[in-house]
Amino acid sequence: MTKQTLGLEKNLHEYLLSVSVREPEILTKLRQETAQHPMAMMQIAPEQGQFMSLLLQLIGAKKTLEIGVFTGYSSLVTALALPEDGKIVACDVSDEYTQIARRYWEEAGVADKIDLYIAPARETLDKLIADGEAGSFDFAFIDADKSGYDDYYEYCLQLVRPGGLIAIDNVLWSGRVAEPEETQDNRTRHIRALNAKIHQDQRVNISLVPIADGLMLVMKLSNP
């Protein structure tokens, strides 16, 4: 028994997957296609997708925001977890990556739930706020360029309703966040600074879940 979170060796990770992951066939197919992509490492892990799906169902999410779509794994997880009348606003800059996502959204029959904006996320988020959508999202997933993370966090705090959830990916960044300051590249510094900021942020309740590359869960408080 240990009070410290276990680092998962390969065999224990495989065991975890074998007794927990129930991946729908369409997600397996997308994951297998993405595995051939040169940027495949950008996709979230299946156990993380399933965890997010459970969270979405637990909070009864109907309207969500995704910043960073790539080939669509997390957005498809989300779309499958939302009710029939659920909506996702999805942001990405790449038409090429998201062509793959669109194909799978169609095949899964969830394309109607997803509004994809191909533009730098800040533009789309500004537009949502200008259109009066602040406070209207139940859930937001941040998984794009790390230099934008702090801004995306602040945008999401405006766009998510009180009691809503923000999930931020890669916050453990393969362990580099814990390396000495002087060895850190810019992306590591951005993530590290945001983790430290969120830790002190009285506007939210938090938990950093050491699943996959680290997922920061942030619940927006009603009256900080």
Ligand X SMILES: C[S@@+](CC[C@H](N)C(=O)[O-])C[C@H]1O[C@@H](n2cnc3c(N)ncnc32)[C@H](O)[C@@H]1O
Give the residue from 102, 206, 104, 112 showing the smallest Cα distance to 153. 206
Give yes or no for residue 44 binding ligand X (CB under 6 A): yes
| Closest approach of ligand X to the CB of residue 20, in Å | 18
What CA–CA distances, in Å, run from 204 to 66, 201, 223? Answer: 19, 6, 9
Give yes or no for residue 73 binding ligand X (CB under 6 A): yes
| Closest approach of ligand X to the CB of residue 162, in Å | 25
Give yes or no for residue 92 binding ligand X (CB under 6 A): yes
Q: Which contacts (CB < 8 Å, 24+ apart) does range 35-40 have? A: 37/71, 37/100, 39/70, 39/97
Of 160 and 215, the one with the shorter C-beta distance to ligand X is 215
Give yes or no for residue 151 binding ligand X (CB under 6 A): no
| Closest approach of ligand X to the CB of residue 96, in Å | 9
Give yes or no for residue 86 binding ligand X (CB under 6 A): no
3 state SS of 164: strand
Instruction: Report CA Rg, the chain.
Output: 17
Give yes or no for residue 68 binding ligand X (CB under 6 A): yes
Residues 125-144 that bind ligand X (CB under 6 A): 143-144
In contact, 164 and 139? CB cutoff 8 Å: yes
Contact residue for ligand X among 27, 52, 69, 166 (CB under 6 A): 69
Of 2 and 36, the one with the shorter C-beta distance to ligand X is 36
Of 92 and 138, the one with the shorter C-beta distance to ligand X is 92
Helix (H) or strand (E) holding 218: strand 215-220
24 HSE (CA, 13 A, CB side): 17
| Contacting positions for ligand X (CB under 6 A) | 42-44, 68-71, 73-74, 91-94, 97, 120-121, 143-145, 148
